[in-house]
Amino acid sequence: MTGIDDLPVRDELRGKSPYGAPQLDVPVRLNTNENPYPLPEPLVERIAERVREAARDLNRYPDRDAVELRTQLAKYLTDTSGHQVGLANVWAANGSNEVIQQLLQTFGGPGRTAIGFEPSYSMHGLISRGTGTGWISGPRNDDFTIDVEAATKAIAEHRPDVVFITTPNNPTGNAVPRETVLALYEAAQAAKPSMVVVDEAYIEFSHGDSLLPLLEGRPNLVVSRTMSKAFGAAGLRLGYLAAHPAVVDAVQLVRLPYHLSAVTQATALAALEHTDTLLKYVEQLKSERDRLVAELRAAGYDVVESDANFVQFGRFEDSHTTWQQILDRGVLVRDNGIPGWLRVSAGTPEENDAFLDAVREIKKEQS
């Protein structure tokens, strides 16, 4: 039987595994930070209408520059952050993973490096590898905050071309203070200068504000966003970034022609028309997230302060065993391989109840 290693694959891919959160058929799935609420019916209707219109032109390539969509994304960012963002500042792609890939193809690549402060979003490292960019695992404190001194030292030492800062951080849930981002940006400029990518995939769930206003006067800063979480549209595959217009021009050097299908653009535009309704679900999820934090603590678990739609909880002697015990009770959570910890996404109140019942029961059995 021919396997991967029998093929002439690139050396750096040998022996590696693809991204693979389990997609199991269980009653309660709280493992991939999805939004548990299906899109509301009037939005489903509007998507069908917009896609029907787009279908009439499917013999033609889509708008390569996605002008209408980028204009509406810019309006959303301006309305929600108070920071003026225009069409020229925004770029969109198939999920923020593709945005990150395009950034690494543009600013990373062979002979260059990227750094992230781990544990953090594993795809930053995986996409680095896939684009031939060397990956540097930067440090984090035991409480999962970023130690500014250690992080700036790592930047000065390694002089990376790309610096990733995930806020709120995945999988730990905590937000990175504005001052920390500023300090790392300054360190990155002094060392190289390099691009600093602030991954705000979960920012709509945060108690604090977006870092978009920091873009002012900082052309090497990028803020990346997604419609997968707050907009409840993980299946749509729509991510975007805000940055200086020169960054938007630069990523176009690597994007595939017509990368964003007409169907994707039409669907995203329909979803943006329903922003107010979708953000109401975000408020509900924030209060459910706060309830998960409080109830897990009341049950005797350690919990990392969360600004996201998920919660990191522990501590376990063997997190994989506990993961299995929770699964045996019909609830799928995430084992990110961080010793002693597991992560649960905020679901509907009923799903969260099922999860809380499971972990209370497990705690009781252990004591």
- Closest-CA residue to 222 (of 246, 193, 196, 192): 196
Instruction: Give the other-Cβ count within 10 Å of 77's Cβ.
Output: 23
User: Which residue of 35, 170, 206, 264 would you call a contact of ligand PMP, by CB under 6 A?
Assistant: 170
Q: For the window 102-141, what string marks contact with ligand PMP as x by the rule CB under 6 A?
A: -------------------x--------------------
**Interface with ligand PMP in residues 141-160 (CB under 6 A):** none
Smallest separation (angstroms) from ligand PMP to the CB of 50: 20
- Closest-CA residue to 232 (of 38, 46, 76): 38
CA distances to 9, 67, 95, 248, 264 from 86, in Å: 42, 11, 20, 11, 21
Instruction: Give the other-Cβ count within 10 Å of 147's Cβ.
Output: 17
Given the complex with ligand PMP, which of 200 and 295 has the nearer CB atom? 200
Smallest separation (angstroms) from ligand PMP to the CB of 123: 6
Given the complex with ligand PMP, which of 138 and 362 has the nearer CB atom? 138
CA distances to 47, 138, 144, 194 from 156, in Å: 48, 12, 21, 11
Smallest separation (angstroms) from ligand PMP to the CB of 52: 25
User: Which residue of 51, 148, 182, 234 would you call a contact of ligand PMP, by CB under 6 A?
Assistant: 234
Number of residues that bind ligand PMP (CB under 6 A): 13
Q: Check residue 228 for interaction with ligand PMP (CB under 6 A).
A: yes
Smallest separation (angstroms) from ligand PMP to the CB of 344: 14
**Interface with ligand PMP in residues 78-107 (CB under 6 A):** 95-97
Give the helix ranges, DSSP H, for the chain. Answer: 41-55, 67-81, 96-107, 122-130, 148-158, 178-191, 245-251, 262-273, 275-298, 319-328, 349-366
Question: What is the phi/psi pair of residue 285, to 5°?
Answer: -65, -35
Q: Check residue 352 for interaction with ligand PMP (CB under 6 A).
A: no
Smallest separation (angstroms) from ligand PMP to the CB of 190: 26
Helices H / strands E in the chain, number of each? 11, 12
Smallest separation (angstroms) from ligand PMP to the CB of 227: 7
Asked whether 33 and 229 are in contact (CB, 8 A), the reply is yes
User: Which residue of 133, 152, 226, 264 would you call a contact of ligand PMP, by CB under 6 A?
Assistant: 226
Q: Check residue 264 for interaction with ligand PMP (CB under 6 A).
A: no
Smallest separation (angstroms) from ligand PMP to the CB of 286: 17
Given the complex with ligand PMP, which of 70 and 192 has the nearer CB atom? 70
Q: Is-cis flag, bond preceding 193, omega within 30?
A: yes
Q: For the window 186-205, what string marks contact with ligand PMP as x by the rule CB under 6 A?
A: -------------x-x----
**Interface with ligand PMP in residues 282-341 (CB under 6 A):** none
Judge residue 329's burial from the number of C-beta atoms within 10 Å of its C-beta, 0-12 exposed, 13-18 middle, 19 or more buried. middle
β-pair type (90-93, 239-243): antiparallel
| Residues found near ligand PMP in the complex (CB under 6 A) | 33, 95-97, 121, 166, 170, 199, 201, 226, 228, 234, 239
